[in-house]
Each structure stands twice: as structure tokens, then as C-alpha cells.
Amino acid sequence: MKMNKKILASVVTISIVALMVGVGTFALFSDTETSTGNTFTAGTLDLNVDGKDDPNVPFYFAESNVKPGDSGSKSVVLSNSGTLAGKAYIHFKNVVDRPGTTPEPEPTLDDGELSQNLYIKVLVGDTIKAEGYLFNIKCISYELGTIAGGGSLTVTIEWSIPSTVGEEIMGDSVTFDIEFSLVQA
């Protein structure tokens, strides 16, 4: 029994020492700091066309009685009232030719060929961004450049009907939409 008492005394001593070491661990100094109020806010893109948003974007062309040799142009200011930079694009879409009246000098009744003979050139400054007959440049998105948050970009759209075009466009008309877009840079 004497041996058991020694073992028991050793176990009790070890347990007391372990308990004191554990209590001592919690007795050290400590300090905690918390950073509060952390937030993230997403930036914005907001394209305006001549200061307008959909559905108030104006149409730019309402030309009538055009003929071979005629030309003109319109300037459009695209601005980004958002906070992020974005790449601006132009896209000619929903192109619809109509034959209108087909007077007897026009060779035959047709579906209208004005979009095939209406030459369009899109410029930013002196740089040509898109160029070709409306029929050929439709349904393609052309990059115009980057607009910083709060910045703007002036786009000039020139049109002409070559003087070499014949009577095939007489009485024809074409309607189309011009879509401007801004995509995060």
C-alpha cells in the first residue's frame, strides 16, 4: 500500500502543477482591437447621349429628298456620368430598306437599295472608327474609345451618297437605329 500512496501522491502533485500552469496561461495580459464599419461600394457606368438617357435619346437623321452627291454630318457627345471608366461602342441596327415610289426611270420594282448606297463614316476626332455603306456596316459593334468616369467623347457621323449612284435609289427610303453602349474598361 505504501507504493500506491507514493503513486497517488505523485499523480496528485502532477495534476496540481498542470492545473497551476493552465491557470497561469489565462493570467497573462491581453488586448483586442476591432475594425468596424468596413464596406464595399460598387462603381457605376452611366452613358448619356447628348445629355439624355433612354427613352429620351434623340434621332439624328431625318433627311428627305436626298440625291446622288448629297452629304452631311452630325456630332454626338457621349458622356459617362458614372464613376468607372468604360469603352464606348456604336452599332447601326434595325436597318430596313423600302422601295417607296418607283417612278418609271427606276429600272424595276425593287425592295429598296438606299442602305447599299448610303456611305457612313464614324469619327472620333480625326480617327475613323467605322466606315462603309450602311448595308455593310450594320449589325457590327465598333469601339469608339474609353470614357473616364465623369468624362465625355465627341463622335461625328458623316453620311454621303456617291454622285455615281444611278436611278436605282429613286424614291427609296431606309430607316435604322443607332445604338451607343458603354462597357466597363
pLDDT tens digit string along 56-107?
Answer: 999 999 999 999 999 999 999 999 999 999 999 999 999 999 987 776 665 5
Q: Helix (H, G, I), strand (E, B), or coil: what is residue 3?
A: helix
- CA–CA dist 133, 69 (Å, integer): 15
- Name residue 177's beta-bridge partners: 93
- CA–CA dist 18, 148 (Å, integer): 66
* 141: its cell numbers: 459593334
Residue numbers of the domain that contains 58:
47-184
Q: Is residue 29 part of a domain?
A: no
The domain tally of the chain equals 1
Mean pLDDT for each 10-residue chunk of the chain (185 residues)? 66 70 67 95 96 91 96 98 97 93 66 93 98 97 98 98 91 95 95
Q: Is residue 20 part of a domain?
A: no
